[in-house]
Homo-oligomer: A and B are copies of this chain.
Amino acid sequence: MSEPTTTTGEALADSLRAIREREPLIQQLTNEVTKNDLANVVLHWGALPVMADAPGDAGEMAELAGAVLLNTGRMSDRNVEALHEAGRAGNELGAPVVLDPVGAGATPTRDRVQGSLLSAVEFAIVKGNYGEISHLAGAEAEVKGVESVGEYEGIGETARALAAETGAVVVASGAEDVVADAEAAYRITAGHELMGAVVGTGCMLGATLAAFRGSLEDDLTAAVHGTLAYGLAGERAAELPHNGPASYRINFLDAVANLRPEVAADLDVGGRIGRID
């Protein structure tokens, strides 16, 4: 992509338009907590969700997909088998695969499963919260999530290191989201604090990145525009009436659907993306 820091509303609109025009099938393997949310958020961006997760069916569906999301929130043997199968199918047929390593560092089981996926599958994008990304990168991590200012300086370098190691673009979500490839890291200033008061917003970002990457060729563009669009939807959701996190969540899903290309084209997104030196 061109330098991310020069992203304009028009460029974001182009990406949003690409999703609606290509309408890619997004095959998502995910935990049961957020399955409905992930299906809806993909549909609201304009792509087609499918959530086939039984061994056999999972791989067959991945063969038809424009992108594959592997969210590791679910750890049963059968589900792990399906994760591998879908990842492999994506790699073999050229569908980009996105990893959301939910709970990385929390249990030995998760370490083992995520490690085996990182060895076996080539990922286009890896998205986690600060703690998960830091753990995968071998850096010091607090599993409950690290969002302090003191950590901020380090996370850019950590994300770059993980990008260099995996070949994927890395998205670390937190107070400010960070997107990095092996060469550079960027902070994206968008979003709303209520997003952290709702279960599944991290997982929905993973689904969003799969929808964007299923419609765009470039990993970095997909990651930057997906993360930015997601945060903008979070801000616009707060402008609709709400009484707490549950009604905000409904607003958020509406805001995703309403962030249409023609809306995005008029937004001034200058200054939203900054390079981390």
Question: Interface on A for B, CB 8 Å cutoff?
Answer: 25, 31-37, 39-40, 43-44, 48-52, 54-57, 60-61, 64, 73-79, 103, 106-110, 144, 197-200, 240, 242-247, 250-255, 257-258
Cα-based distance from A43 to B254 in the complex (angstroms): 22
- Copies of this chain: 3
Cα-based distance from A240 to B244 in the complex (angstroms): 11
Q: List 7 A-B contacts (CB under 8 A).
A: A34-B36, A49-B199, A54-B74, A54-B75, A56-B109, A61-B107, A244-B255
A-B pairs with the 6 shortest C-beta distances? A244-B254, A246-B253, A54-B75, A60-B107, A57-B75, A54-B76
Minimum C-beta distance from A21 to chain B (A):
14
Minimum C-beta distance from A115 to chain B (A):
14
- Further contacts, 7 of them, CB under 8 A, given A40-B199, A43-B197, A246-B250: A32-B32, A43-B199, A61-B107, A76-B78, A242-B254, A245-B254, A246-B257
A196, closest chain B residue (CB): B43
Determine which residue in A52, A253, A258 has the highest number of CB atoms from chain B within 10 A of its CB, and name it.
A52
- The residues of B that contact A34 with a CB separation of less than 8 Å are 36
Q: Are B33 and A103 in contact (CB under 8 A)?
A: no
- The residues of B that contact A73 with a CB separation of less than 8 Å are 51
Q: Are A258 and B244 in contact (CB under 8 A)?
A: yes
